Amino acid sequence: MKITFAEQADTEIVAYVVDENGALPDAATSLDEETGGLLTEALSQERFTGKHGQQAYIVLPKSCKARRAVLIGGGKPADRDGRAQEKIGALLVKTQAGSGFKSMAIHIDDAEFAARAAQGAELASYRFDDYFTKLKDDQKPSLESITVVGSNSDAASKAYEPLAAAAAGTALARTLMNLPPNDLYPQTYADRIKELEKYGLEVQVLGEAEMEKLGMGALLGVGQGSVKESKMAIMKWSGGKEGEAPVALVGKGVCFDTGGISLKPGPGMEDMRGDMGGSAAVVGTMLSLAKRKAKANVVGLVGLVENMPDGNAIRPGDILKSASGQTIEVQNTDAEGRLVLCDVLWYAQEYFKPKEIVDLATLTGAIVISLGHHHAGLFTNDDGMAETLTKAGLTEGERVWRLPLGSEYDSLLKSKFADMRNIGGRAAGSITAAQFLKRFIRDGQKWTHLDIAGVAWVEGEKSPIDPSWASGFGPRLLDRWIADNHES
Ligand code: BES
Ligand code: MN
Ligand code: ZN
């Protein structure tokens, strides 16, 4: 969507925000007079009260420049937080995108509100249509441009810049997740990451031979049943002080997770195209940082593999040697995400000495049972990180909820044959997975693990800012967290 800010605009649709039980906003009075009071009349019709998200449409007389006016309920101003603000932009896109009209103005004076509504509109206009070959014109969106009109348009436009960068990262994360696994596999995924160099990121891709030299036997073990070569991509954004230790973002990129020899049941397996959601969050964030030229040093590392059953696949009972030197008895080949992450986490620490690490992964079904679809699970060895990430999540509407770590859970990972096994048992599945990762974190290293299995994609009722299967969870949270905590 083309989004601009101006003090006035000529568009086919004009939208005004009406506070709950409030009057028509000043910006609407001239159109109201021009139409002999059509807008005022709409206020008292069809139960329109200005409740948040309500909409009333007015067909405008031929004498007007615009064709349609929309009144949208803004709710009570005191309740209008960032979520409510972005939802107003999103709902207008949702209802007007297929209206047949190409241009819309949204009248909002407050700069912060205007910027948030614009971000909501941008997020809501995301589409993933490339694989439909029979779409008729009336199934495609008509709306091409939105002008957010207000008296503070310069400030609004400035406030929107970082939000637009975050929205671009979200859109990229969504697309990577939505792409089918026959088109997005480690090599093609790495190619797409490489393309981000045009935004100023430095990208390095390692293949199996290089990872073998590094001893990354856990990650390589997962990919060994696939005909697709495993990869690790490393993205660097160096916008901070020279020589300052970076923040590391680490992502699970299982391009498809069949479960391997511990095969998953058939129904719903197609969702495992999204098992690279953690890596998509990292890649999306790196794009956001580059787009807004963040003043921070950040390195993103993603382990890209496909988990397939095959004559050459790892078996339950196999013992893998991780890059850290620790050995792992594989008791379930479907607990593969932690095997990928442990080697990438090792690499991040060995080569970058990061000040803080955040890893993201669609790691466990158990987190969906504990937290559902509205919070990611947060596990950390640092209270400060728990606090700053929780706050960033609340600001951006990508919420996280802390769960415990503890040595009692760690002992569930004992193996008869190796340093550890890759599953804990039935109880506390998300915690034992986090405990597993913690075994690869060096003493003194600040680290947080986000289990995003419940939030990376959502079936059923969805927020209007999130129209596609993949939510694109991550870039907004991480970009905000970096902006607020790691920039000079
Ligand atoms: N990718 C799955 C986790 C998952 C489940 C993500 C549902 C999104 C939705 C992960 O690799 C997995 O299979 N985990 C197992 C671990 C178990 C074998 C210890 C699980 O959660 O069942
Ligand atoms: Mn699995
Ligand atoms: Zn998985």
Is-contact 435 463, C-beta < 8 A? no
**Which tops the pLDDT comparison, 420 or 46?**
420
Assess whether the C-beta atom of 336 lies below 6 angstroms from ligand 1.
yes
In a domain, 157, yes or no: no
108 and 181 co-located in one domain: no
Assess whether the C-beta atom of 429 lies below 6 angstroms from ligand 1.
yes
Q: What is the mean pLDDT of the chain?
A: 98
The confidence score (pLDDT) of residue 418 equals 98
Ligand 1, residues 364, 369, 426, 431: which to mutate, most atoms within 8 A of Cβ? 364
264 is catalytic: yes
Encoded tokens for 430: 């998300």
36 and 93 co-located in one domain: yes
Instruction: Give the global pTM.
Output: 0.98
Place of tokens 């309500």: 54
Assess whether the C-beta atom of 32 lies below 6 angstroms from ligand 1.
no
The residues that bridge with 237 in the sheet, in sequence order, are 298
Give the mean model confidence (pLDDT) for residues 266-270: 97
129 and 185 co-located in one domain: no
The confidence score (pLDDT) of residue 323 equals 99
The confidence score (pLDDT) of residue 216 equals 99
In a domain, 160, yes or no: no
Assess whether the C-beta atom of 341 lies below 6 angstroms from ligand 1.
no
Assess whether the C-beta atom of 362 lies below 6 angstroms from ligand 1.
yes
d(CA 452, CA 306): 19
The confidence score (pLDDT) of residue 264 equals 98
The confidence score (pLDDT) of residue 201 equals 98
Ligand 1, residues 262, 329, 363: which to mutate, most atoms within 8 A of Cβ? 363
Encoded tokens for 22: 């409030």
269 and 417 co-located in one domain: yes
In a domain, 162, yes or no: no
Give the model confidence (pLDDT) of 337-364 as tens digits: 999 999 999 999 999 999 999 999 999 9
Q: How would residue 113 be classed by pLDDT, with cut points 50, 70 and 90?
A: very high
In a domain, 283, yes or no: yes
126 and 175 co-located in one domain: no
CATH number assigned to the domain comprising residue 306 = 3.40.630.10
d(CA 306, CA 320): 17
Q: Which of 51, 76, 83, 264 is flagged as catalytic?
A: 264
Give the distance (Å) from ligand 1 centre to CA of residue 337: 8
The confidence score (pLDDT) of residue 45 equals 83
**150, 179, 203 - which closes a domain:** 150
The confidence score (pLDDT) of residue 488 equals 80
312 and 346 co-located in one domain: yes
In a domain, 161, yes or no: no
In a domain, 163, yes or no: no
298 and 435 co-located in one domain: yes
Give the model confidence (pLDDT) of 47-76 as tens digits: 899 999 999 999 999 999 999 999 999 999
Q: How would residue 256 be classed by pLDDT, with cut points 50, 70 and 90?
A: very high
238 and 386 co-located in one domain: yes
Give the distance (Å) from ligand 1 centre to CA of residue 286: 26
Share of the chain above pLDDT 90, in %: 98
181 and 243 co-located in one domain: yes
d(CA 263, CA 257): 9
What residues make up the domain containing 181?
Answer: 171-485
Q: Which amino acid, one-letter code, is at 342?
A: C
Q: Which of 116, 338, 421, 480 is flagged as catalytic?
A: 338
Give the distance (Å) from ligand 1 centre to CA of residue 367: 9
- Domain count within the chain: 2
Encoded tokens for 378: 């947060």
Give the model confidence (pLDDT) of 476-486 as tens digits: 999 999 999 99
Encoded tokens for 392: 């960033």
144 and 231 co-located in one domain: no
In a domain, 68, yes or no: yes
Is-contact 455 374, C-beta < 8 A? yes
Nearest ligand to the CA atom of 365: 1
Q: Which residues contact 91 (CB under 8 A, 6 or more apart)?
A: 53, 55, 72, 124, 464
Is-contact 428 441, C-beta < 8 A? no
Give the model confidence (pLDDT) of 418-465 as tens digits: 999 999 999 999 999 999 999 999 999 999 999 999 999 988 778 999
Encoded tokens for 96: 């007007």
Q: How would residue 242 be classed by pLDDT, with cut points 50, 70 and 90?
A: very high
In a domain, 278, yes or no: yes
CATH number assigned to the domain comprising residue 22 = 3.40.220.10
Please choose, from the candidates 486, 315, 284, 245, the residue with its C-alpha nearest in 3D space to the C-alpha of residue 398.
Answer: 284
109 and 189 co-located in one domain: no
Give the mean model confidence (pLDDT) for residues 287-302: 99
224 and 106 co-located in one domain: no
**150, 181, 209 - which closes a domain:** 150
Assess whether the C-beta atom of 365 lies below 6 angstroms from ligand 1.
yes
Q: Is the pLDDT of residue 46 over 90?
A: no
Nearest residue by C-alpha to atom 7 in ligand 1: 365
Q: Is the pLDDT of residue 82 over 90?
A: yes
62 is catalytic: no
